[in-house]
Structure formats: C-alpha cells, structure tokens
Amino acid sequence: MFRLLSKESNIFSIPVYIGFLLFIVILFNILNFNTYEAIIAGITFVGIALGYFCFNAIQLNYQTHLPLFLYTFFIFGLYNGNLDIGIAVALLTNSFILLLLTSTNEDIRKKSYVLVGSIVALNFVFLPTTWPMIFFVLIHLIVTSERVGLNIFRFLLGMMLIAISYFSVMFFLHFNEWNTAYIPFGKMKIVTDYTALFPLIPIVLMLIYSVYDHFVHYNSKSPVSRYKYTFLLVFSLAQLISIILYMDKNYEYLLLLAFPSAIILSRMMRFLPKYWMKETCLWLTIFCLIAFKAGNHFNLF
C-alpha cells in the first residue's frame, strides 16, 4: 500500500478525498440530524476539507497521496460525529490561518495580518481554550516579518475589531457578566485518565521519533524545508498546549493535530531506510486509529 500511496498526486486527487470525507461526516450525523447539528457538521466539513488544500500550500507532502490518506484516516479515527461548535470553528479557522500564513505570495501575507488577527480572535470567541494560537501567530510574525512592529500592529488591530464587535453585541443583548472560560487557565481540564488513549501510543512514539530524526539530520535539510517544518512544529505545539490543558475526555480536541500529524508521519515514513519499515508504520497507524475509534465507540476502555 505504501508504494501505491507514494505515487504522485494532483489537484484531481483532492476531490476524491473530500468526497470520502463528506461520506464520513454524513454517516456519523445521519442518526442525530437536526438544524444545529447540520450547521456544526457543515462547519466541520468545510474546515477539514480546506485542510487538503493546506497540504499543497505548505508543500511538505512531495506531491504524494500518503499525507492525504493519513489525514483522511486521522479524521475517520478521531471524528465522533458529535463535535462541539467551538472545535468545528477551530478546525475551520486553523485551515484559513495555515492557508494565509503559508502563502508563497509575500504581498498577500503582508496584507492578510489584519484578517489573521480577526480569525484568531473569532476562534477565541467560539473556543477560548485555543488562546495559544495567538502566541503561535506572534512568534511567526516576529521570526518571518521584516517590519515586525507594523505587522504585529496589524495583527492586534484585527483582534481589536472582533473584540469591539463582540463586546458591543454582548452589551446590546445585556450579557454583562464575564465568563471565566475566557481567562487563560480559567477552566483547565487536564487529562488525568489516559486509558482511552492507549491505542494511540504507537502513533505518539512515531511522531516523537520523526521529530528526533528531523533534528538529527537538521543540517542536511534545505533552508526551505527547515523553515516549513519548524513552522509546522510550532503550530503543533500551540494545539498540543490546548489539548493538554483542556481536553480531559473531550477527545475531539485531537482533531486539531490531524493535519500536522499527517505531514510529520508521512515524512518519517518516506525517509525510512527499508520498505518493510514504511509498510509496517503505515499499517500500524491505520490499526491504531481503528482501535481508538472502536474503543471509544463501544466504550471498551
């Protein structure tokens, strides 16, 4: 299967994966279909579907099917069909942020910082636990921008526009009490029971090895590859902070790591020295995700 998925993909491959994604979303929501659930499912579908286009934007997939396939299987394994609207919006906003910040057009990136600030603030409104994304974008601006102060001002301006609009609407609706969930560390739900996550241990170990191997061979990587991989790792760290501090037993939070995990694992498999290692890692990932899905669906853990 690894050889099949290592073949070159093209733009016509993405609609096939999106079609399968649509089937998954419909299948998991058909039994509890109502207007509210349909809206959440629609937001989730659009956010995850945009993730497929992020692969071409970040250009770390070497134009193969492998990361697309792994991303699809991560969604299948981690999506339970009953997402909170905050997670659904976070998936959508994360895709937009990745598309904007990884654009090859320097002019587009400069002009998008106000929009990125607005998107991050909107994400925070729907899911306050995603506050680490603010620091991810700030770090990205400081490292990559020539005019750091101006671009940070643009980013903060975008956030302020959403904040003013939000507070105006809440004041008009007479919601005058402050929710402690909007204070970082206000309502932490740190993971204490890891039993249900046991099937994912092999995947976690492969991710750790992949990051270790990247830094071992860091000097042999091209400057572009090093920059993009570092960008992906910082993005993953921002998602990981939210997961560790707030996930508890809301395992749908793990969907926030589906995109970077697919790229990191696909790169690890691609550079393994033996073909049997690549094939073993691929099937191990598939079986782990199926086991996690079955364990949560049938309450086996």
Secondary structure element (H or E) that encloses residue 61, with its range: none
Domain range holding 48? 2-297
Question: Residue 31: what pLDDT?
Answer: 59
Q: Give CA–CA dist 75/169, Å, rounded.
A: 35
Q: How confident is the model at residue 185 (pLDDT cuts 50, 70, 90)?
A: low
Q: Give CA–CA dist 120/114, Å, rounded.
A: 10
Max Cα distance, the chain (Å): 64
- State the average pLDDT for the chain: 84
Residue of 168, 84, 156 whose CA lies nearest to 121 = 156
Question: What's the structural domain count of the chain?
Answer: 1
Instruction: Give the predicted TM-score (pTM) of the model.
Output: 0.90
Q: Give CA–CA dist 133/148, Å, rounded.
A: 18
**Residues whose CB falls within 8 Å of the CB of residue 119, separated by 6 or more in sequence, listed in order:** 93, 96, 97, 100, 158
pLDDT single digits (tens) 88-122: 999 999 999 988 888 767 777 777 899 999 999 99
* Residue 288, pLDDT above cutoff 90: yes
Least confident of 65-69, 142-146, 188-192, 267-271: 188-192
